[in-house]
Amino acid sequence: MPSGPFRIFAAMSTLRSVAILGGGPAGASLGARLAQAGVDVAIFDIGKRPEIVVGESLVPAVIPFLAELGIEEEVRAYSIYKPGATFVLRGGEEIMNLRFDTIRGAQTTYSYNTPRDQLDASILAAAERAGAEIVETTGRVEKTGEGERIRLSEESLRAADATFHGQQPDFIVDATGRRRTLAQLFDLETETGERRDMALHAHMEDVGLIERGNVHTDVLEHGWSWRIPLPGKVSVGLVVPFAELAKFGSTAEEQFDGYLASDRVIGQWKGRPRRITSVFKYTNYQLLTRRGFGPNWALLGDAFGFIDPVFSSGLLIGMDGARALAKALGAGATPEAMKRYEAWVIHHLETWQHVVDHFYNGRLFTLLQVGEVARSTRFGAILDLHFGRYLPRVFTGEASHGRYGPWLLDFMCRRALVDNDPAELAVT
């Protein structure tokens, strides 16, 4: 077995070749793990991405994955150091700061805000160094006529001949993001969240920040915004109900610029924000596929599900899912192993959906306010020794894939608000 950081395979007697459709972080991470373990891997990636991609602010739990890939120092060199998060509430009148190095029991006390084009390229290059072939074309699949089995199209198989030598791969992974190639092919059951927002996203100059390096989340008059400091610019996103944005025009630029100029909370930002890129629009948030695998295929990353950009969970779910899928494939992709993989990812997605729901309904920040008051009492300070170890680590991603931390956070959001009305901090 090849040496390296991904020693996860006891044997690969049944799966020797894997095709991965999509070379984003999830697909490339999986490709690196499999190639390092001696699997023949071809990653289909057209090499073209939007100028801007959602997911520029990394949660701390992503950092160990970058270290495993051997690229953390590379990422650090082109990124902004991220010490924490800043939340702006109540019409800009209340500010809450979370520093990662103050979280009790945290394993990683920092993160990065990073240009996604460079990050994605770094992860894909790591997969290539591990031995995966990068096939610069769209990977296409078709049904074989044998139940739900699939195969590469003849054109795609020829494109990856250097890896597969004319033989169909043993397994195919859909990492095509929100194109959801296999979910569309098989019309898989999905579950959507309650929100029907639109996200408009651009890079800007001269955008004021409250805390250097922090990702900023502002609750606006309608919806919310992010401010992510990047080298020489700030990423600004508006997540606002469709009906509100439609008041400002029909194009993404008209809606972004118009809302930015009209919202009272944004008007309190320091500086004179100037947009320096086009505006990109995203609409299909909060979508979870209820099945994650078939006879010789699996879903990964956003192709499996995506919850919401508010806590930057997407990249973590994708890279964590890549590790879990590599483990399942290493066990021979047996039904039992694949069911464990599917359950793992669905649980992770559902955990973040609960957290996001409590952000929008106001319960999350109401709980944090109650906690601030409670810590000033002797009994509350004792309780905080426990809560402070688990609750913040859900947001950093270190405890989001477990059972206890997410359960505790959900329970406290529902049962521990005393007489405080969460509607006062709800995102409308």
Domain boundaries, the chain: 17-51+116-190+286-349, 197-282, 361-425
pTM for this model (two decimals): 0.93
Q: What would the mean pLDDT of 79-107 be, rounded to a whole number?
A: 95
pLDDT at 5: 52
Kindly indicate the confidence band of residue 284, based on its pLDDT and cuts at 50, 70 and 90: low
Mean pLDDT, residues 251-255:
97
In the structure, what pLDDT confidence band is assigned to residue 38 with cuts at 50, 70 and 90?
Answer: very high
Q: What is the CATH number of domain 17-51+116-190+286-349?
A: 3.50.50.60
Q: Is the pLDDT reported for residue 153 higher than 90?
A: yes
23/37 Cα distance (integer angstroms): 18
Task: Record the tokens describing residue 229, joined without a space.
Answer: 């400091």
| Range from 43-57, 116-130, 241-255 carrying the lowest mean pLDDT | 43-57
Task: Give percent of the chain above pLDDT 90.
Answer: 84
In this prediction, residues 336-348 reach a mean pLDDT of 97
Q: Which class is 197-282 in CATH?
A: alpha beta
Instruction: Summarize pLDDT for 203-221 with one digit per residue, the tens.
Output: 999 999 999 999 999 999 9
Indicate the average pLDDT of the chain. Answer: 93
Binned at pLDDT 50, 70 and 90, residue 385 comes out as confident
Q: Are 145 and 130 in contact (CB under 8 A)?
A: no
Q: Which of 14-18, 154-158, 334-338, 363-367 has the lowest mean pLDDT?
A: 14-18
Q: Reply yes or no on whether the pLDDT at 8 is more than 80.
A: no
Give mean pLDDT, residues 263-288: 91
4-18, 253-267, 332-346: the lowest-pLDDT one: 4-18
pLDDT above 60: residue 13: no
Topology alike, domains 17-51+116-190+286-349 and 197-282:
no
